Amino acid sequence: MTTELDIVQDWRVFATDHTLVRVTLTADTAVVIWSDGRETPLHRYFLRDNCTCSQCYLPLTREQLFEITDAAADLTFAEAAIDAAGDLVVRWSDGHVSRYAPGWLRSHAPDDASRAERRAARPRPFIWGSEYADALKSFDYADIMADDSTLWAWLSALRSAGMTLVKNVPVEHEALLAPIARISHLRETNFGRVFDVKSKPRADSAAYTSVNLPAHTDLPTRELQPGLQFLHCLINDAVGGESVFVDGFAIGEAMRAHHPAEFATITTTQMAFWNRDDRTDYRWTAPLIALNSDGDLEEVRFANFLRGPIDAPAGQMDAIYAALRLFQAMCRDPKYFIERRLAPGDMWAFDNRRVLHARREFDPQTGERHLQGAYVDRDEINSRWRVLSRELGEPC
Ligand code: OGA
Ligand code: ZN
Ligand code: ZN
């Protein structure tokens, strides 16, 4: 049952199959019993903190006004009941009254079973190796531009596999901006709103020469690496210059499973990345693979050509280099990468904080090569995906 409160508390609708049956009180906890028998203890501060009455909450923005430090230290329950609408209603010792919709409560229930259920339901990344070459998620430019469900499917693929191809992008300068505008705004950098990848006489990056670029993420030199990268092919007439992609999460998980010591080293050792020219000086230091607080892979950060010397105790060098050498060797292992030559009109779109990309050396004497690239932060595709999910009735 969904009540009006479910919608007020969030932009999402918390539909639930479970209703509230009963509530019992102790001094600082209300324990609710659900129709499936689950028990959820709700701490008095948790409930008071989440009151959505018009004194505690700004309905216009659906943001909290009340600060929990303003609750009395001895605040307690005067009374709690399940009302006719199925909501939990609490009357507090100071007379304030709060209501909670069952859908919202179930979605935020802090009991162990509910928390485990939410964790299990969290989408897992789809991890891939060379076999992904045949399954690569490919989307048509015109469909992305015209159709919200295709846009949603494209963003869903970027969130799960982190690697997609868009076909039939017009072969025109800055044509990549149109599908990006369907998502959100750009992440501008010192290389421009749109950067031109071609062999340049006064290059300020190895990318703008014709050399082999080993597997890397772009701008590991920044505190926040750009989340999504788009690379649109305008001309690819030179011999060489094939694109290579590696799922950094596949390598991370393989290291965790088969090389735990190297995995521990690579996830904790600070690596320095530098990007300097006569006008700029960017530096950042972080582990090559970052984990979140649950131990899940969160981010890969690596570009050998932007790496500074390792700053670590002499006694740790052997272990650090063993881990780094292994990581690089795995990036070169054909079982982990896909390789493909871009044709004009193709556009790679991939998660730059997860998927490493490489470019084979090309020979600029044999023909012209010109790609255009741009970045969008991860927040932007996540936000757009959630709003589209709301509109399309998909869970988010
Ligand atoms: C880059 C890059 C890929 C290519 O510019 O950082 O990786 O195919 N370019 O030129
Ligand atoms: Zn209130
Ligand atoms: Zn790059």
Residues 330-358 have a mean pLDDT of 97
Residue 119 burial (10 A CB sphere; 0-12, 13-18, 19+): exposed
C-beta of residue 227 within 8 angstroms of C-beta of residue 351: yes
Write down the mean pLDDT value for the chain.
94
pLDDT over threshold 80, residue 6: no
Question: How confident is the model over 247-258, as a mean pLDDT?
Answer: 98
Q: What is the pTM of this model?
A: 0.92
CB 232 within 8 A of CB 376: no
Domain boundaries, the chain: 20-121, 130-392
Exposed/middle/buried for residue 96 (C-beta within 10 Å: 0-12, 13-18, 19+) = middle
Ligand 1 atom showing the smallest separation from residue 241 Cα: 8
Question: Is the Cβ atom of 371 under 6 angstroms away from ligand 1?
Answer: yes
Q: Compute the Cα dihedral for 315, 319, 322, 324 and give only its sign.
A: negative
Which residues are registered as beta bridge partners of 20? Answer: 34
Is ligand 1 within 6 A of the CB of residue 357? yes
Ligand 3 centre to CA of 284 (Å) is 17
Amino acid 15: pLDDT: 73
Chain centre to alpha carbon of residue 314: 35
Report whether residue 243 contacts ligand 1, using a CB cutoff of 6 Å.
Answer: yes
Q: Which residue has the tokens 């010792």?
A: 93
Does any ligand 1 atom lie closer than 6 A to the CB of residue 215?
no
pLDDT tens for 120-131 read 998 899 999 999
Q: Which of 373, 361, 356, 360 is nearest to 245 (CA)?
A: 356
Q: Whose CA is nearest to atom 8 of ligand 1?
A: 359
Residue 369 alpha carbon, nearest atom of ligand 1: 10
Ligand 1 and 338: CB distance under 6 A: no
* Ligand 1, atom 3: closest residue by C-alpha: 359
**Ramachandran assignment for 271, one of left (phi > 0), alpha (psi -120 to 50 degrees), beta (any other):** beta
DSSP state of 192: B
What 3-state DSSP class applies to 230?
A: strand
Q: Is the CB of 219 under 6 A from ligand 1?
A: no
Q: Give the tokens for residue 273.
A: 């990345």
Amino acid at 32: V
**The CATH classification of domain 130-392, taken from the options 3.40.50.280, 2.40.50.140, 3.60.130.10, 3.40.50.150:** 3.60.130.10
Contact 283, 261 (CB under 8 A): no
The whole-number pLDDT of residue 1 equals 44
Taking the centre of ligand 3 as the mean of its atom positions, its distance from the CA of residue 351, in whole angstroms, is 12
Strands 63-64 and 57-58: antiparallel
Q: What average pLDDT does this structure show over 206-232?
A: 95
CB distance 260 to 326 below 8 Å? no
pLDDT more than 90, % of the chain: 87
pLDDT of 2:
45
Residue nearest to atom 5 of ligand 1 (CA): 207
User: Residue 16 has what pLDDT?
Assistant: 76
According to the CATH classification, is domain 20-121 in 3.20.20.140? no
Q: How far apart are CA 97 and CA 137, in angstroms?
A: 51
Q: Torsions phi, psi of 203, nearest 5?
A: -65, 140
Model pLDDT for residues 56-109, shown as the tens digit of each residue: 998 888 889 999 999 999 999 999 999 999 999 999 999 999 999 999 999 999
Rg of the chain over CA atoms, in angstroms?
A: 26
Other Cβ atoms closer than 10 A to 103: 26
Count of other CB atoms within 10 angstroms of residue 280: 12
Confidence of residue 5 (pLDDT cuts 50, 70, 90): low
pLDDT of the residue at 8:
54
pLDDT tens digits, 169-193: 999 999 999 999 999 999 999 999 9
- Distance between CA atoms of residues 196 and 194, nearest Å: 7
- 266: phi > 0 → left, psi -120 to 50 → alpha, else beta; which? alpha
What is the rounded distance in angstroms from the CA atom of residue 102 to the CA atom of residue 40? 12
pLDDT of 287 reads: 98
Round to whole Å and give the CA distance between 268 and 287: 6
Q: How far apart are CA 312 and CA 272, in angstroms?
A: 11
What's the confidence (pLDDT) of residue 235?
A: 96
Question: Ligand 1: does its nearest atom lie under 6 Å from the Cβ of 275?
Answer: no
Under 8 Å between Cβ of 86 and 71: no
In terms of Cβ atoms closer than 10 Å to its own Cβ (0-12, 13-18, 19+), residue 19 is middle
Kindly write down the DSSP assignment for every residue of 52-63, as one continuous string: -STTTEETTTTE
Q: Is the pLDDT of residue 201 over 80?
A: no
Closest CA to 14 of 1, 27, 33: 1
Q: For residue 364, give the DSSP letter.
A: G
Q: Are 244 and 358 in contact (CB under 8 A)?
A: yes
- What's the whole-number mean pLDDT along residues 144-161? 98
Q: What whole-number percentage of the chain has pLDDT above 70?
A: 98
Q: How confident is the model at residue 9 (pLDDT cuts 50, 70, 90)?
A: low
